[in-house]
Amino acid sequence: MLPDGSRCIVSVPLGTRTVYAAVWQIRAGKVRLYLLDTDLDENAPWDRGLSARLYSGNQDMRVQQEIVLGLAASGRSRRWASSPPCGT
């Protein structure tokens, strides 16, 4: 959650559609761990399950998961280090 109580949502282009993911941050000692959750009302039913089980679906599901995870983190990780998207 953001300081104002709202959810932190990132958008990821996936083919001809956009997948939205909530970003959650967990602290484990000095390490910040970011989790993505695609089970959001904003997503189509088939996209909501992308983050339910990592790499357990068919090959299409796995490729979509890798795209969402990669694009959500790529280019954002540097910004998150200095300015986390969902609190500290």
pLDDT band at 17 (very low <50, low <70, confident <90, very high): very high
Question: Starting at the edge strand that comes first in sequence, how are the strands of the sheet with 17-28 ordered?
Answer: 9-14, 17-28, 31-37
Residue 16 pLDDT exceeds 90:
yes
Contacts of 63 (CB under 8 A, 6+ apart): none
**What are the backbone angles phi and psi of residue 12, rounded to the nearest 5°?**
-130, 120
* Mean pLDDT score, 62-75: 80
Q: Which of 11, 65, 20 is nearest to 43 (CA)?
A: 20
Give the pLDDT of residue 25.
82
CA distance 66 to 50: 10
Share above pLDDT 90 across residues of the chain, in percent, rounded to a whole number:
24
pTM exceeds 0.95: no
